Chains A and B, each alone.
Chain A
Amino acid sequence: MKERPAIAAIDVGGTFTDAVLWRDGKLSRCKLPTTPENPALGVAAALKRLGGSDLLVHGTTTATNALLEGKLAPIAFVTTKGMRDVLAIGRQNRDPRDLYAIVPRQRNELVPHQRRLEVDERLGPDGSVERPLSDGDLRRLAVQIATLKPAAVAVCLIHSYANAVHEHAVRDALKALGVPVVLSSDLAPEFREYERSLVTAANAGLIPLLQHYLETLTQSVSPTRVVIMHSAGGWLPAEIAAREPVRLALSGPAGGVVGVLAVLDAEGVDAAVGFDVGGTSTDVALVTKQPRLRGVTEVAGLPLRTPSLDIHTIGAGGGSLAYFDAGGALNVGPQSAGAQPGPACYARGGTQTTLTDALVVLGRLPASLKLGGEMTLDHALAEKAVASVGTRGSVSATAAAIKDVTLAGIARALKRVTVERGIDPRNLPLVPFGGAGGLLACELAELLGMREILVPRDPGLLCALGMLNSQASRDASRTVLLRDGTSGLHPALQRVATELEKRATAELRACGLNGPFETHASLDVRYVGQSYELNVPLTAHWRKTFDDAHKREFGEAMPDRAAEIVNVRARVSARRKPLRLPLELPRKGVAKPYERWKGVPVFDRDTMPVGAKLKGPAIVTELSSCLWLARGWKLAVLKTGTLRLSHA
C-alpha cells in the first residue's frame, strides 16, 4: 500500500494557535500562543514543533480580521457610467439595528468616492452591447487609475454576468499597471450589482494583504505544500487563495463544521447541530452529510456573495460582559473582556463580569482545573465580579441569570440555522466544541427540546482536526436565467455545468492537487417572478425536486407556474477517505471521580473506559475543555471515544 503523506492542520485563533499532525497513522497535537503581529511565525513554529509535514492545511483569520477592522488595501473600483456610487448606496436601507437610531450609521462603502471610476459603456440584461466601450475611454481610465497608485483594481460593470466582454477589455487596458485586476464576471458572475460590486471590491482589497501573508507563510514552511481552509469548508491551494482571498472570510469556523462532520461519520449520524463557544463569539451550524452552503457570507455587516457553510455567529462567548440596562433587563455581550484582561477569574486584572465568571460561580469549573494545562481560575475574583453586576438577588441567582440570557441568545442562533430552515432540532444531536461548549450543552439542548448530545474527543482542537479531515474543493457558478418547461433538462445546463466542472478541476490540478475528484452540479431555481432561489441537484427531475422543496419550505408547490433557473453551480472536490483517529482509552473498568467539587463528582476523561456510564450532575475535565453533565442527563463513553449524553 502506498504510504500516505504526513498532513498538518494549523488553526490560528485569537489566543492560541492549535496544531495537529497526522503521520503514519498517529496523531500529535500542539498548542502555542498566537503571534498576532505575524501569524505566519506561530504557524511555522508549531509546524517545526510537530516535526514538519508534506502538506499543511491552514485556517486563517487574516481575511476575517482585515474585513472586521476595515483594514483593506487601497484599491480602485471601476464601474459603468452613472453607477459610481453603487457601493456607497448599497441597498439604500439602514441596518435594521439602526431602525430607531437618531442617526443611522454610515454604510461601509469599502472604496472612497475619489477611488471609484466610471467607463462609458452599457450592456442590456441579456448581455447585448447597447453602448460599446471606446479605446479612448479605456486609455483615459488607465491614466486616471495610474495616478491613484492602487494596490489592486476591482471591475464590476452592469450586467457583466451575462457578458464579460467589456470587463475583459478593461482588464487588458490596465495590464501595464502591473497590479492585480479582479473582474466581477470571473469572481462572482451573478446578478444584483451591489452585491457583486461588493464582493469584487472586498476581494481586490484583500489580495495585497493575503498575497503577502501567504507568500511569507509558504516560504517559512517550504518545502511543505500549503492549502488554505475556505469558507465553504474545503482546501483551496494557496495560489488560488491568494487570488480569491474573499473566499477565506470564514476560514476558521469552517474547520469546526468539517470537524463535526467527522463526528457524524464516526457515529453514523446523518445530521447534527454544532456549536463552538469561543472567547468573544459563538459559532453555530447545522451540519449534514451533504453540508449546507449559503451563497452569502456575512462579515462585518457586509453581505459578501461567496459560498460559505451555513455558520451563524453571535457576539456572546466566555469573555462577553454581563450588565443590567436602564430598564432592568440583563444583557450578555456583545462587548467582551477579550483575551486581555479576560474574565475576572483569569486574575489578569479584569474586574468586569463575564459569562466565564458566572460559570465559575455556578460550580461548573472545579478549582483544580488548569485551562490548557496551565492556567488556574480565581474563584474569589469570579464571585466578586458577579456580585458587582448590581442585583437584588443572590450571587448564584445572578450567575444563573447571566447563563440563562446567554443560552437564550445561543438558542435563537441555533433556531436560525434549524427551525428557520424548516428543520426541527429536536430530532438532531447537539455537538458542543471549543473551550466552553460543553459547559452549556445540556441546558441548551433542553431549551430546544434536543435529547442527545455528542461530545467529540479533543473538543478544543476540533477545528484543526476538521481541517485535517477536509479535502480540496472548488466552487464555480454562472448565472443563466433560463426559463424552462415543466420537465426535462435543457442541454445548455449540462453544458454549462460541465464547463464549470472542467475549469475548477483544471485549477485544482494546476496547483499540484491530484484526483480523483468528485463533482456535484446543482441549480438555483425559482418560480418565474420570484427573486430567491432554492438549490436543487442538477438532474432530469430537477423540476419535481424543486416543487417538492418549495412545498417543504413555503407550504405550497405551484407545478403549473413556469420555473426559472438562475444559476448553475458546480463543486469539484478531491475524494479522500476520512482519517480514523487512533484511540488510547482504557478498554475496561469503571469511571472513578478524582475529586468532588461543591458536592459534584469530577472525572478525568482520559481515564474513563469505553462503555463507562455516568449520571448527572457530574463534571468531566480534559486538556482542552470541560463538560457539565446536568441533572437528568446520562453519559456513556462510546467505542469511538465520543461521549454520548442523553436526556432521561
Chain B
Amino acid sequence: MPKHDIAAVSVLHHALVGAAEEMGEVLKRSAFSPNIKERQDYSCALFDARGRLIAQAAHLPVHLGSMPASVHAVIDRVEFKRDGDFAIVNDPYNGGTHLPDITMVAPVYEGKALIGYAANRAHHADIGGAAPGSMSPQTELMAEGLIIPPMLLTRETLALVAANTRTPDERRGDLKAQQAACARGGQRLREAKQHWGGGFDGLCDALVAHSRNLMRHSLKQLKPGVYRAADFMDDDGAGTTNIRVAVTLTVKRGGKLTFDFTGSAPQVKGGVNAVAAVTASACYYACLCLCDPVPPVNAGCFEDIRVIAPEGTIVNARRPAAVAGGNVETSQRIVDVCFAALAKAGARVAAQSQGTMNNVTIGGVNAKSATFTYYETIAGGCGGTDAQPGASATHSHMTNTLNTPIEALEHAYPLRVEEYSIREGAKGGRGVVRRIRALVPCEFGLLTERRKRAPKGGEPGVNRVCRAKGQVETLPAKCSGKLDSGDSLEIITPNADGAED
C-alpha cells in the first residue's frame, strides 16, 4: 500500500470503529434487560454492500465469525425494501448462534444506492422455551426457546417475539434499543461514505488489506508444520461425559493456517453443541491474540485462516441439536485446543484460563406477581505466563461481559447476594465465589464447565446449593433445580495456573 494512503486508512478505521462503539453506547444506554444494559452482552459491527465485515467494536470475541454469518443469512433470505427496514435472526442453523442472541441487521442507503449494513447482536434475558432465561440445559432446540429465521422486523413479528417470551415488555424495549443502535450505525456509515465520496470503496479495500497484512505478518512467525491438540468437555448434562474437542493445525509457509476439527466428538443430546460460526470465532480470536499490534478487526483479518468443522460434530452441529451452551461453553474449549496447537507451532501463549463462562439463570415470580428472569455469567481465573501472573476474577477469551452490580440485581430481583469474593490458592488468576440467596421460590439453571477437569495446573469450579435448613448439596456442571425461599446457590469458578509449561 502506498504510504500516503495509510493516513486515510487510519482515519477511515477510526471513523468506522468509532461508529460501531457508538452503536454499543446507544444500545447500553437505552436497553431494558440487565443483561444488555449492565452486563453489556452485545456486539456491534458495520458491513459493506457485499456483506463484508469492515469494522467490529471490541465487544465480545465470540461474535467475531458469527456476526458475518448472520449478515450473510439475512442478505440471502430477506428482501429489504427501504431505508428504515430492520431484519432479525436468531436461528442457530440459519445465521444465529444460540437463541437468546438476537441479531439485528439494517441496510444502509445513500439515496437509492445500498452502501452497507449496520448490525448488532444482543443477548436477551429470555427468549421463551422450557425454562426461565432460556439458558438451562435442554435436549432439543425447540425447548431452548423461540426460533427466529431471518425475517423483517414488523409490528407483527415484534408482537410474535414478545408473545413468546416470559418478559414481553423487556423484549420490546430491548429490540427498540437494537433498532436505535442500528440506525445510529447506519447514519455514521452514510456520513463516512459521503465524506470520502468515490474514494470510499477503495479505502475500504485498503483497510481490509491492511488488516490482512498485519495478520499475515503475525502468522508468518509460526513454524510451518502440522500440530495436534485435544481436550475434553466435562459433560452435556444429558448423559454424555468427556466430550472430545480435537484440532489439527496446519501452518503453511507464508502464514496460511488451517484448523481442522476432524476427530472431535459427534454432536450430543445436551445443549453444548456449537454451530460452525462459533467454532470459526474461536479460531479467529486465538489468531488475533498472536498479533502485536492487534489489526483493525474486519474481514481481512481472517482471509488466511481456514476452518474445517465436520458436520454432525460438537463443533458443527446439525438441526435440531440443542445449542445454548455451544456459544458460551464449548467455544471456550475450542479456544483451549487452538492455543494448545498454536503453542506447538511456536506461539507465545498463556496457561489455560477458567475455560467456562459459568452461566447462571434464576427465574420465578416476584412479590408483585411479575415474572422475572435473571441471567449472569461469572468471571474466573485467567492463566498467566512466566512474565505475568494472570488476572483474577476476570472473564477470559470468548466473552468479556460485565457483572450485574449487587445493588442493581437486588433492586430488580427478589434475590440477595451473600458473598462475592475471590477464591484462595491459585498460582495464576483466581476464581470467584458468588453466593445468591432466593427470597421467593425460584427455578435455576446452570451451564458450567471445568467442574471435573480443571484448567491445566488450576483447580476446578464447584456448584452447590446451601439449603435454608443447613444441608449443602453439590450440583453437577449442568443442571436445573429449584430454590425455596432462604436457599442459596453458590458458584465457585475455576482457578488458573501461573505459567504454561
Contacts and interface: CB of A to CB of B under 8 A. Distances in A.
Interface of A: 82-86, 88-94, 96-97, 99-107, 122, 124-125, 130, 158-159, 161, 191-195, 325-331, 391-393, 397-398, 400-401, 404-405, 407-409, 411-412, 415-416, 419-420, 447, 449, 481, 527, 529-532, 550, 553-556, 558, 561
Contact of A93 (B7, B180, B188, B395): B395
24 contacts: A82-B420, A89-B379, A89-B421, A93-B40, A94-B396, A99-B294, A100-B289, A102-B349, A102-B385, A103-B384, A125-B410, A158-B406, A192-B408, A326-B218, A326-B292, A327-B214, A330-B10, A408-B10, A409-B14, A529-B170, A531-B37, A555-B179, A555-B184, A558-B173
B220 to A, nearest CB: 10
Contacts of A101: 289
Contact of B176 (A158, A401, A556): A556
A558 B213 CA distance: 47
A105 B420 CA distance: 21
Contacts of B59: 96
Q: Max chain B CB contacts within 10 Å: which of A84, A103, A125, A529?
A: A103
B264 interface: no
A323 to B, nearest CB: 11
Q: Which of A82, A107, A195 has the most CB of B within 10 A?
A: A82
Contact of B406 (A83, A404, A531): A83
Contact of B378 (A90, A92, A195): A92
A532 B410 CA distance: 17
Contact of A391 (B3, B40, B382, B408): B3
Contacts of B395: 92-94
Contact of A420 (B25, B58, B408): B25
B420 A85 contact: yes
B257 interface: no
Interface in B119-154: none
Contacts of B492: none
B441 to A, nearest CB: 19
Nearest to A326: B217
Interface residues of B, number: 88
Given A327-B214, A327-B217, A529-B169, A124 B410 contact: yes
Contacts of A407: 11
Contacts of A392: 3
Nearest to A330: B6
A555 B38 CA distance: 21
Shortest 8 CB-CB contacts between residues of A and residues of B: A327-B214, A404-B7, A82-B419, A92-B379, A531-B37, A408-B11, A529-B32, A532-B29
A397 B4 CA distance: 7
Given A89-B432, A92-B379, A92-B394, A191 B407 contact: yes
Given A92-B395, A102-B350, A554 B406 contact: no
Given A103-B390, A409-B14, A326 B293 contact: yes
Given A102-B348, A412-B18, A83 B420 contact: yes
Nearest to A91: B402
B10 A191 contact: no
B3 to A, nearest CB: 5
Contacts of A106: 389, 391-392
B417 interface: yes
Contact of A530 (B8, B31, B403, B421): B31
Nearest to A392: B3
B98 interface: no
A353 B466 CA distance: 62
A103 B403 contact: no
B113 interface: no
B407 A531 contact: no
A181 to B, nearest CB: 22
A461 B390 CA distance: 45
B309 to A, nearest CB: 22
B58 A96 contact: yes
B341 to A, nearest CB: 15
B4 A401 contact: yes
Contacts of B393: 85, 88-90, 92, 107
Interface in B157-216: 169-170, 173, 176-177, 179-180, 183-184, 188, 195, 210, 213-214
B401 interface: yes
Contacts of A481: 411
Contact of B7 (A97, A122, A326, A405): A405
A16 B3 CA distance: 37
Contact of A82 (B61, B210, B388, B417): B417
B485 interface: no
Contacts of B38: 531
A329 B210 contact: yes
A420 B22 contact: yes
Contacts of B32: 527, 529-530
A328 B4 contact: no
A161 B407 CA distance: 10
Nearest to A161: B407
A107 B1 CA distance: 39
B420 A404 contact: no
Nearest to B392: A88
Contacts of A91: 402-403, 405
A554 B410 contact: no
Nearest to A398: B3
B478 interface: no
A194 B40 CA distance: 16
B400 A408 contact: no
B359 to A, nearest CB: 14
A444 to B, nearest CB: 12
A82 B435 contact: yes
A344 to B, nearest CB: 21
A194 B405 contact: yes
A104 B417 CA distance: 27
Contacts of B7: 330, 400-401, 404-405, 408
A485 B409 CA distance: 24
Contacts of A103: 350, 382-385, 388, 390-391
A589 B278 CA distance: 72
Contacts of A192: 405, 407-408
Contacts of B379: 89, 92-93
Contacts of A90: 393
A191 B407 CA distance: 6
B285 interface: yes
Contact of B11 (A96, A97, A411): A411
A93 B402 contact: yes
B26 interface: yes
Interface in B1-24: 1, 3-4, 6-11, 14-15, 18, 22
Specify which of A85, A88, A407 lies most central, judged by the most chain B CB atoms within 10 Å of its CB: A85
Contacts of A527: 32, 173
Contact of A408 (B14, B291, B348): B14
A91 B291 CA distance: 26
B192 to A, nearest CB: 11
Given A99-B58, A103-B384, A158-B407, A329 B10 contact: yes
Interface string B45-71: 000000000000011010000000000
B410 A159 contact: yes
Contacts of A416: 18
B484 interface: no
Given A100-B285, A104-B382, A193-B406, 18 more contacts: A82-B419, A83-B420, A84-B421, A89-B421, A89-B422, A93-B40, A93-B395, A101-B289, A103-B350, A103-B382, A103-B391, A191-B411, A329-B10, A329-B210, A407-B11, A447-B11, A532-B28, A532-B37
A326 B216 CA distance: 11
A194 B396 CA distance: 20
B349 A328 contact: no
Contacts of B411: 125, 191, 481
A447 B285 CA distance: 33
B204 to A, nearest CB: 16
B418 interface: yes
